[in-house]
Amino acid sequence: MHSIALYNLKGGVGKTTTAVNLAYLASQQKKSTVLWDWDPQAASTWYLSGAYGPHKNKSIQLLQQKKPVGSLEIKTPYPRLSLIPADLSLRKADIALELTKSPRRLFHRLIEPISEYASFVFHDCPPSLSPSVEYLLCCSDIVLVPVIPSPLSIRAVDEVVAFFNSKNKKPKKMLGFFNQVDLRRGIHKDALANADKLAINMLETWVPYNSAAEKMSKKQAPLVSYAKSGSALAAYNKLWKELKTELKAL
C-alpha cells in the first residue's frame, strides 16, 4: 500500500481539492483507495459523503483507541473509493495523543489494517504542524505539498522544511507542486521560473487557477469525476501520472 499525505502549513492552497481528485483518480485504476480526512473542518468528508449525512462515530475515538478504523470507514458514491471521515472532535487530537505511550506506534497501528485491502491511502491533513500532524507526515510514503506561487505560501514551505531538518525523524519524501497558478500575474510566472530554488523538490506539473475547480463545492464531487475537458482536468490527470511515477520509484 502507498500512503500520500496532502499537506501545507498554510491554509487555502487547494490541499483538500487535490486530495479528493487524486483519490478519485487512484480508484479509477481499479485499485481500492481510502481518503482519510484528518482536518477538523472536514472538507473532504463534505465533498464525498454529503449524500449520507453525518457519521455516527466521532473521529477522535480512533486516537482514543475506543473504535477500530473499520467502524468509521464509509463508502462513497464512487466504486473502490472509501472515506474515513473527520469532524470537529479532531480538534482534540493532540490531547488524545498526550495520553498515549507511543503516538508513532498508534498511527502505524491505525493505518496497518487498511494496508490489508487498499492500494492507496490519501491523508488530508490540517494546516498545522501539531504533534499529531508531525507523526502522520512521518508515517506517509510521500508528503505532497500544494504551493501557491506567492511569497507567503513559499515561506510556509520553507518553515516546514526547516522544522523537519532539525528533527531526527522526518518524512520519507516531500514533493511540492504549484497550485492555483495564474500566468497573468508576474509573481506567479517568476515563481514557476525559479522552482529549482525552493526548499523542496517540485513536480513538473502545475495546476492552474480555474473556476471549474470552485464548482466542486456546488456539485459536491471530484472535478475529475464529471468534467469532460478543461485545463484543471488535464492538470490533475498529469499530476496523478507524475505522482504514480514517484511512488513506483520508492
pLDDT of residue 103: 80
* CA 209/CA 213 separation, integer angstroms: 8
Query: Could you give the 3-state DSSP secondary structure of residue 35?
Result: strand
* CA 228/CA 82 separation, integer angstroms: 23
pLDDT of residue 53: 55
* CA 64/CA 81 separation, integer angstroms: 26
The pLDDT tens digits of the residues spanning 213-242 come to: 778 888 899 999 999 999 999 999 999 999
Q: How confident is the model at residue 55 (pLDDT cuts 50, 70, 90)?
A: low
The pLDDT tens digits of the residues spanning 200-213 come to: 999 999 999 987 77
**Rounded alpha-carbon distances, angstroms, from residue 173 to 2, 46, 181, 201:** 12, 29, 24, 9
Q: What is the mean pLDDT of residues 122-151?
A: 95
C-alpha cell read off for 93: 487530537
Dihedral sign from CA coordinates of 171, 246, 13, 76: negative
